[in-house]
Amino acid sequence: ETVDCSRLLCLPAAVDMHVHMRGGEQAYKENFATGTASAVAGGVTVVVDQPNTIPPITTAERLRSRVEEAHRQAVCGFAVNAGVTGDADLAGMWRAGALAFGETFAAPSSYGEALPPEILAPLFERIRQLGGLATVHAEEVAGDRPLATLTGHDRARPAAGEVLAVTAVGRLAPPGLRLHFCHLSTADAVDAARGSVEVTPHHLFLSREAFDPDDAAGKVNPPLRSERERKRLWSRWEKIDVIASDHAPHTHGEKSRGIAAAPSGIPGVETMVPLLVAEARKRRIPLPSVIEKTSWKPADLLGIPRAGFAPGDRADYALYPESIAKVDPDQLHSRCGWSPYAGYDAVFPAEVIVQGVRAYHDGAVAAALPRWHPGAGYNTSEDL
């Protein structure tokens, strides 16, 4: 099969190292079939699922069955992160093919409160011994102690708390641990991070001023910040290692329950690269920096081959038209059925190639596709 690339911009496809594909009893929000279709339609061909599923991924058995679920449903590459709790089977999950550890640690999560330093420190040491990547939520720590959980815009997880959390986690981490800070939302935290830095599209494109105080569409962890803080975050563009979506689908009905009752989370796997390509088209950021932060750097951190054009590269590409379009939530593929980016400038791919096979063309995801699991065959060493 030949793909006509004339007048299309061909980029290495993205690796989104922070998504929530749901499934199980949360399949009404999303599952691997709908979530990866949404990914592919947005130029993302590898997704890394986070372990806060129901039940959470904290044992090798659960990790294996989550990988099997993805194998049955996904339409692109995928990996599953190991959840980290005090009694989680880290080595077992690593051997079962986890590509990274976390999210969890320093923020309260759906599977428990934030881990205190005395539990966190030995977990860090174990992850260092395994050679894993520790992906950390450093959102809500004062000094070295976690704060209580609250919900809502900026009332909890204040901007100043993030830099304290990042610093506290950095102090606790043993030398040699590969630390990755998930979804940093403030410029000061980016400056303070000793490890790789991940930032989401929503903290770059949305601020709390864009939402009514009682509108939960913008409710997310960590919270959207002020418009001033959003602009400061862009000023750190060069320091950001990875852009990842934290795609956290909840239905429109759930998000309409008002600020206190609605769940936190914003969908974004399909709009992430299109929003950034539009910024590059407007010459606000260099196009090569988009490729670095959405494709190459996350692949390097996870230890999977880069997508690209050299021999040995992964044959995952997305082809973009010249014109800038507007986001239309009705055209998106996530089951959650809404997007906070309606009307935003975006360049969506016209074609997406996964493992050399045409996976997406003219708005439609192909039926039979090469799903693959980069974790398979990894981390099999017996001496773990």
369 lines the binding site for ligand NCD (CB under 6 A)? no
| Residue 13 in the binding site for ligand NCD (CB under 6 A) | no
Q: Nearer to ligand NCD by C-beta: 182 or 276?
A: 182
Measured from the CB atom, the residue of 108 and 308 that comes closer to ligand NCD is: 108
Task: Indicate the residue among 205 and 296 with the shorter CB distance to ligand NCD.
Answer: 205
Q: Is 16 in the site for ligand NCD (CB under 6 A)?
A: no
- Asked if residue 198 binds ligand NCD (CB under 6 A), the reply is no
DSSP state of 262: S
Q: Helix (H, G, I), strand (E, B), or coil: what is residue 80? A: strand
Is residue 20 part of the contact set for ligand NCD (CB under 6 A)?
Answer: yes
Query: Phi and psi dihedrals of 256, rounded to 5?
Result: -95, 10
Question: Can you tell me which residue has the tokens 């800070």?
Answer: 181
Least distance (Å) from ligand NCD to the CB of residue 42?
Answer: 18
Mask 32-71, x = binds ligand NCD (CB under 6 A)? --------------------x-------------------
Residue 163 binds ligand NCD, judged by CB under 6 A = no
Pairwise CA distance, residues 270 & 268, whole Å: 6
> How many chain residues touch ligand NCD (CB under 6 A)?
8
In contact, 184 and 194? CB cutoff 8 Å: no
**CB 103 → ligand NCD: shortest distance, Å?**
7
Task: Give all strands (DSSP E) within 127-267, no chain letters.
Answer: 133-136, 141-142, 145-146, 178-181, 196-199, 242-243
What span, in angstroms and rounded, lies between the C-alpha atoms of 185 and 368?
Answer: 38
Catalytic residue among 4, 246, 316, 330: 246
Rounded-to-integer distance, Cα 67 and Cα 233, Å = 35
Complex with ligand NCD: residue 229 or 246, whichever CB lies closer: 246
159-172 helix and 117-130 helix, angle to the nearest 10 degrees: 60
Q: Which residues pair with 47 in a beta bridge?
A: 16, 78
Is-catalytic flag, 246?
yes
| Binding of ligand NCD by 81 (CB under 6 A) | no
Give contact residues for ligand NCD (rule: CB under 6 A).
20, 52, 220-221, 246, 248, 264-265
